[in-house]
Structure 1
Amino acid sequence: MPDRSSSQSSPSSQRSAPALRRGLKVLGTLLITLSAISPASSVFIIAPGVVGQAGSGAFWSFVVAAVVGVFMAFVYAELASAYPLSGGEYAIVARTLGRLPGFVTLGLLLVTQLLIIAVIALGVGTYLEVLFPGLNGPVVAAVATAGATVLAVFDIKLNAWITGIFLVIELAALAVVSALGLLDPARPLGELLTEPVNAAGPVSFGVITAAAAVAIFSYNGYGSAVYFGEETTDAHRGIARAILWALAITVCAELVPVTAVLLGAPSLPELFAADNMMSHFVAGRAGSAVNTVVSLAVALAILNAVLAIILITSRMVFSTGRDTAWPGTVSRALAAIHPGTGTPWVATVATGVFATALCFADKDFLLVVTATSIVAVYAALCLAVLAGRRNGTTAHAAYRMPWFPVAPVLALGALAYVVWTNFLDPVVGRPSLAITAGIGVVAALYYALVVRRRGTWVLKGPEDPAPADTAPR
């Protein structure tokens, strides 16, 4: 039954809600989204973990992950075309599944998004060390985050241009890696497809699918386009296109260089044993000078990702203020929009301050906290798109996925497998699942004991989306 409580938003409250400036075309949204995914960072930082587990079978791991990505991109595109809101996933879940699931999703995202900025920023020093040995990683990360925060306060169109330029450099570096392997392969593609091996010998399908759980996260981020829905023209149609294009480009930008490395590495055992697989490959095939240039491009890609994720996270923080999720003074401050740049400047600064401070936290702790939260968010979105079709809350969506409900059902099955593989990992996976559950419980308690009793959580958005407050309790 629709929620008609005191927190229901009226047309007048919708009109008076702080509104972001629509200054982005779909291309600008796509550039920022791809920058947040950061294909180069995924290839150089996440892909080695997949290769270390599945060996040359990593090719199939990335293919399986791409199939799961297609399922989730369909889910994101349909939901985002119905609710292209700056609150992103929490705003969608709250309107389709209900307020409690929406607030739990908000809790998970709020914690993990801030931590993810620090996790990514800590990679900057690693790749700058090729020129400046002995850098203090946390200090470099903090400086990078603070600088990105300053840029993020400026006009969104300017940031789209900045991220776009950095993205071109990033993709050029991946093109170099791809060329080094594909133009002079050390083994045929057929060997990669039919005889996958890792350091221990032949690789089973089970190992390949287990490694796919990691590869899924290397593609993650294509759904982030929804956070710019209130700043993109024709968002109901454009955001769905941006999501689908972001996935397609990401898969190509990551799968091709990973395949090139596996084909072009002179010795697979040496590749698997290297501390930094990708740098080992580039240095071995092209020399230290090219490796230095590529490493600097990766450092730039990480900086670009930090900027893009601050832009994304600050939109969500802004939305929480506009929805009055916090005490009045805090909510009003977070919902403030700069009169000159049209950006949520207080939310952006708050995001940057917290993320900068988190750069000095233990990196292993950051990884454990963030490792599995996206699984819970993905699952909530799959349930949201199923519920939206059933209860009509997404009936106005401009995009409808093909073959419904195949995508959300199969995606839920894949996510269940990811949860199981993480449960079997006592070092990172199992503690991360426990922390994810703990964050969800704390968010649920805050909603039940504070937000619901106060009765002021109002789901707001700009004037043009369909009425926001139609979600069941």
Structure 2
Amino acid sequence: MTSQRTTTEEAAMSDPSSSSSSPPLRRGLKVLGTLLITLSAITPASSVFIIAPGVVGQAGSGAFWSFVMAAVVGIFMAFVYAELASAYPVSGGEYAIVGRTLGKLPGFVILGLLVVTQLLIIAVIALGVGTYLAVLFPGVPGPVVAAVTTAAATVLAVFDIKLNAWITGVFLAIEMIALIVVSALGFFDPARSLGELLTSPVAAVDGGVAPVSVGLIVGAAAVAIFAYNGYGSAVYFGEETTDAHRGIARAILWALAITVVAELVPITAVLLGAPSLEELFASDNMMGLFVSTQAGETVNTVISLAIALAIINAVLAIILISSRMVFSTGRDTAWPGAVSRALAAIHPRTGTPWIATLVTGGFATILCFADEKLLLVVTGTSLIVVYAALCLAAINGRRNGTTAHAAYRMPWFPLAPVLALAALAYVIWQNAMDPEAGRTSLLITVGVCAVAALYYALVLRGRDKWVLRGPEEEDTTAPETAAR
């Protein structure tokens, strides 16, 4: 370990633009605060109301099994995330971990994907606010509402991280209450038995319903995986969480467990309680139809407002996450000297990366006026590549010893990363078979990876400018072989 630290320290000292002297992020979070922000970024209510209908539209009542399969994949990935994050609880998140375990080039490729997609994802989520506010304000301009939401969330994100954890916690509670109401509406007045749901799933066929194939259920699981995504975001707060080596792993595992329950239970309730599956499958607003039918328009209006609050909360949480990543790119001197130093700045009073936060929110606010379909296509498959890189990082970290100091070790290694890679390969194949969106998204992802690799090779590699840094009190360096 001594030689590892020496290698990184010498590289940092040889770089005059080094940001390693900037003050560290303030450790103001306990595991609960980190968990609340992470769950807010996942926003289970938004997944149930926005993503789940797409799964139901494809797999019908077989969506229950699709979400169960996705939960199994989620467990595998949560194990991978937890081990890697306990070894490197740094604000750079996935790119910093991949760079320390697989090498700098793969790490910078993941950084390129994250820089592009994280900013776009904020805009994609923010654009959903107008949809649910339209219940009270018909005709409200979606992009304007999204931009105002993003700008306001950016201002909040500059403040102390403990304050933001409290804000996200309150909003998250409202979101969970809405999901409890939806669950109660289905379980207290079921239209069919649980046994029927488990053994005889059906999907829409020519205006009616018919038994759904296993292939459609498995295919829909690829979408359900994205509904659970976000539990690994806890790693971005590793430098602001006390006892991060142990705490971040717990936050990740708890985030997945709570997310699975918070999404699978109401989805099951809707499939059990919907009076007519034919009408449910044919509706453009499945969840709204279910709530209106079971409880009336007033309750549907209240639930819609709760979903709007959940989306606003998610925007705030993802800005908090993304700004930590942007801050880390500055500290690691990924950009020209003046830009890197600015992004690595910490506010003296709030202890937050304030310039990185403003830059993140500013770009995301502008992107709210971009075409939503384009945003979805660009971000569609990048998560698959990030997940795959983390699986390889977990395997290689065990092999070369870069994760030997991890406080958490996943059970049954290497079962989790190997099975997760197999599932991800299937998802990639499914996307490749979709010429309209999936294949285009894959090509864009490959293009972003290629541009990132060229930037690293032509700008950073020759002068060894990109130096992976972390808190001085923690060993976040990689072996010399992995850093080349």
CA–CA distance in structure 2, aligned partners of residues 357 and 66 of structure 1: 34
SS in 2 for 1:122: helix
Partner of 1:455: 464
**Cα offset for 1:26?**
0.1
Distance 1:313 1:15, change over 3 A: closer
Partner of 1:401: 410
Contact kept, 8 Å, 2:89 with 2:238, in 1: the verdict is yes
Contact kept, 8 Å, 2:22 with 2:345, in 1: the verdict is no
TM-score by structure 2 length? 0.96
Contact kept, 8 Å, 2:88 with 2:476, in 1: the verdict is no
Higher alpha-carbon deviation: 10-19 or 236-245? 10-19
- Aligned match for 1:140, one of 141, 145, 151: 145
Structure 1 residue 99 corresponds to structure 2 residue 104: yes
Contact kept, 8 Å, 1:7 with 1:457, in 2: the verdict is no
Distance 1:444 1:90, change over 3 A: same
Partner of 2:191: 186
Partner of 1:319: 328
CA–CA distance in structure 2, aligned partners of residues 106 and 448 of structure 1: 14
Structure 1 residue 391 corresponds to structure 2 residue 400: yes
CA–CA distance in structure 1, aligned partners of residues 415 and 11 of structure 2: 33
**Cα offset for 1:403?**
0.2
Count how many residue pairs are aligned between Structure 1 and Structure 2.
473
Q: Which amino acid aligns with 1:359?
A: C
The Cα offsets for residues 231-267 of structure 1, whole Å up to 9 and x where unpaired, read as 0000000000000000000000000000000000000
Q: Which amino acid aligns with 2:394?
A: V
Unaligned 5+ residue runs, structure 1?
A: none
**Cα offset for 1:460?**
0.6
Structure 1 residue 308 corresponds to structure 2 residue 341: no
**Cα offset for 1:327?**
0.1
Q: Which amino acid aligns with 1:351?
A: T
Contact kept, 8 Å, 1:153 with 1:344, in 2: the verdict is yes
CA–CA distance in structure 1, aligned partners of residues 330 and 144 of structure 2: 30
- Aligned match for 2:77, one of 69, 72, 79: 72
Contact kept, 8 Å, 1:338 with 1:345, in 2: the verdict is yes
**Cα offset for 1:15?**
6.7
Q: Which amino acid aligns with 1:96?
A: T
**Cα offset for 1:455?**
1.8
The Cα offsets for residues 206-244 of structure 1, whole Å up to 9 and x where unpaired, read as 110000000000000000000000000000000000000
Structure 1 residue 55 corresponds to structure 2 residue 64: no
CA–CA distance in structure 2, aligned partners of residues 280 and 371 of structure 1: 28
Partner of 2:231: 222
CA–CA distance in structure 1, aligned partners of residues 390 and 212 of structure 2: 33
Contact kept, 8 Å, 1:310 with 1:348, in 2: the verdict is yes
Partner of 2:25: 20
SS in 1 for 2:468: coil
CA–CA distance in structure 2, aligned partners of residues 11 and 238 of structure 1: 34
**Cα offset for 1:18?**
3.3
SS in 2 for 1:230: coil
Partner of 1:359: 368
Unaligned 5+ residue runs, structure 2?
A: none
SS in 2 for 1:379: helix
5 Å-filtered alignment, 1:305-454, equals 305-454=314-463
SS in 2 for 1:199: strand
Higher alpha-carbon deviation: 19-28 or 422-431? 422-431
CA–CA distance in structure 2, aligned partners of residues 422 and 4 of structure 1: 42
CA–CA distance in structure 1, aligned partners of residues 34 and 64 of structure 2: 29
Distance 1:347 1:283, change over 3 A: same
Structure 1 residue 164 corresponds to structure 2 residue 169: yes
Question: Alpha carbon RMSD of aligned pairs, Å?
Answer: 1.7
**Cα offset for 1:4?**
5.1
Partner of 2:89: 84
**Cα offset for 1:472?**
4.0
CA–CA distance in structure 2, aligned partners of residues 175 and 4 of structure 1: 53
The Cα offsets for residues 183-219 of structure 1, whole Å up to 9 and x where unpaired, read as 1100000111011101022111111000000000000
**Cα offset for 1:9?**
4.3
- Aligned match for 2:45, one of 40, 46, 64: 40
CA–CA distance in structure 1, aligned partners of residues 345 and 124 of structure 2: 28
SS in 2 for 1:198: strand
**Cα offset for 1:454?**
2.9
Partner of 2:475: 466
CA–CA distance in structure 1, aligned partners of residues 35 and 142 of structure 2: 30
CA–CA distance in structure 1, aligned partners of residues 410 and 348 of structure 2: 38
**Cα offset for 1:426?**
1.1
- Aligned match for 1:284, one of 269, 281, 293: 293
The Cα offsets for residues 413-460 of structure 1, whole Å up to 9 and x where unpaired, read as 000000000111111110000000000000000000001123211111
Structure 1 residue 120 corresponds to structure 2 residue 120: no
**Cα offset for 1:70?**
0.0
Contact kept, 8 Å, 1:55 with 1:199, in 2: the verdict is yes
CA–CA distance in structure 1, aligned partners of residues 34 and 327 of structure 2: 18
Which stretches of structure 1, 4 residues or more, deviate above 2 A after TM superposition?
A: 1-18, 469-473
CA–CA distance in structure 1, aligned partners of residues 259 and 373 of structure 2: 27
**Cα offset for 1:17?**
4.5
CA–CA distance in structure 2, aligned partners of residues 11 and 172 of structure 1: 54
5 Å-filtered alignment, 1:270-281, equals 270-281=279-290
Percent of paired sites with the same residue: 78
Partner of 2:158: 153
SS in 2 for 1:247: helix
